Homo-oligomer: A and B are copies of this chain.
Amino acid sequence: MLKSADRPRIHQLKKKIDDFRKKCRSAGLKVTEQRLAVYKALIETAEHPSADAVFKKVKQIFPGISLDTINRALRTLNKINAAFVVEGSGDAKRFDGNLQPHQHFKCVKCKRIVDFYHRPFDNVKVPVSIAGKFEVRRKTVYLEGTCNSCRHKH
């Protein structure tokens, strides 16, 4: 049964899927059923799933799919900006001994993490909606992109 409240949401999903097809085409990529299934799995949840979680979900509809396909599809989505990897997860763990308030910029190409200091960011207030439900121990503004030396290569 379809609640009338669901209709705008469903319309939104349709639009996203349409946009996705366009993004694929303009990148010269094929819209395979698998790829689409991975994309749907991703936009239907707010859980920031791992590749394995997506795998489990997609397998319900597509029992033959392999984890590699999921991984490849997710990498592709990331490349065409249809999804992104949450705050630099993956790769090797990186450590920081600087306990003073400071922020990070990360170059997605050379993986370099640069500290920067910007007084206003030190004082970001945790919104009440969070402060009530969680005990916040660390807060930081995280920027991601490409550093000049990587951008000027090639």
Contacts and interface: CB of A to CB of B under 8 A. Distances in A.
A109 to B, nearest CB: 10
B89 A85 contact: no
B43 A97 contact: yes
Contact of A49 (B39, B47, B87, B95): B95
Interface residues of A, number: 67
Contacts of A139: 141-144
A46 B42 CA distance: 35
A29 interface: no
Interface of A: 39, 42-43, 46-52, 54, 74, 77-78, 81-99, 104-108, 112-116, 118, 121, 124, 126-127, 129-130, 133-148, 151
